[in-house]
């Protein structure tokens, strides 16, 4: 089937009642920022009767944007009900199964100077420790850091990077998943 982009009134789309993907207010804000910055470049996939298969977050963002009346859609009416349900889950899950190559990500982020990437969830901060806040010499050698990861893949990637840094500085490092 050849995909064809159509434009429909955003109010004519029907969110799937059992959509398992969570869309937080923060994520919806990021999607709105992306649409404002780059345009609505990712069509929403719909099935029979304009029921959404994937793109619920984009529709939620568009619903909060008065300047958007119509949204791009693609129809996937050739899918069976079971295929539609499976594709919906697969589409959302596959993006969560991997993370960035952090070295390449850092290179790319370094070259983006006029766009605030923190609006899209990129944390571009560095950890700085003021040693004057530490009480004694023994404490200067200890640092406790807590990080929350969205997936075990993110944890494993970060763990590997931190272990490499610790090895470079010939220091001990204890990393655990709680």
- Residue 108 domain-assigned? no
- Residue 103 domain-assigned? no
Residue 68, CA distances (Å) to 18, 24, 78 in order? 25, 20, 28
- Residue 51 domain-assigned? yes
- Residue 110 domain-assigned? no
| Per-residue confidence band for 149, with pLDDT thresholds at 50, 70 and 90 | low
- Residue 101 domain-assigned? no
- Residue 159 domain-assigned? yes
Do 16 and 82 reside in the same domain of the chain?
A: yes
- Measured in degrees and rounded to the nearest 5, phi and psi for residue 78 equal -75, -10
Mean pLDDT value across residues 39-55: 96
Mean pLDDT value across residues 67-89: 96
Given a cut of 60, is residue 59 above it in pLDDT?
yes
Given a cut of 60, is residue 92 above it in pLDDT?
yes
Domain that holds residue 81: 6-94
- Residue 130 domain-assigned? yes
Mean pLDDT value across residues 20-25: 93
- Residue 175 domain-assigned? no
Query: What is the DSSP secondary-structure string of 13-71?
Result: -B--TT------HHHHHHHHHHHHHH-S-SPEEEEGGGEEEE-HHHHHHHHT-TT--EE
| Mean pLDDT of the residues in the chain | 83
């Amino acid at each position: 089937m050849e995909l064809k982009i159509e434009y429909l009134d955003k109010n004519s789309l029907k969110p799937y009642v059992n959509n398992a993907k969570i869309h937080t207010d923060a994520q919806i804000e990021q999607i709105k920022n992306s649409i404002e910055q780059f345009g609505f470049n990712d069509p929403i996939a719909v099935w029979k009767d304009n029921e959404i298969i994937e793109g619920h977050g984009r529709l939620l963002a568009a619903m909060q944007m008065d300047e958007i009346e119509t949204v791009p859609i693609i129809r996937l009416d050739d899918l069976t009900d079971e295929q539609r349900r499976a594709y919906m889950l697969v589409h959302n899950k596959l993006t969560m199964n991997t993370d960035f190559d952090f070295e390449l990500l850092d290179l790319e982020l370094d070259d983006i100077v006029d766009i605030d990437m923190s609006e899209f969830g990129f944390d571009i901060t560095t950890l700085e420790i003021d040693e004057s806040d530490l009480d004694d010499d023994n404490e200067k050698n200890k640092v406790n850091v807590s990080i929350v990861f969205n997936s075990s893949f993110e944890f494993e990637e970060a763990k590997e990077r931190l272990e490499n840094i610790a090895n470079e500085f010939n220091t001990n490092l204890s990393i655990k998943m709680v």
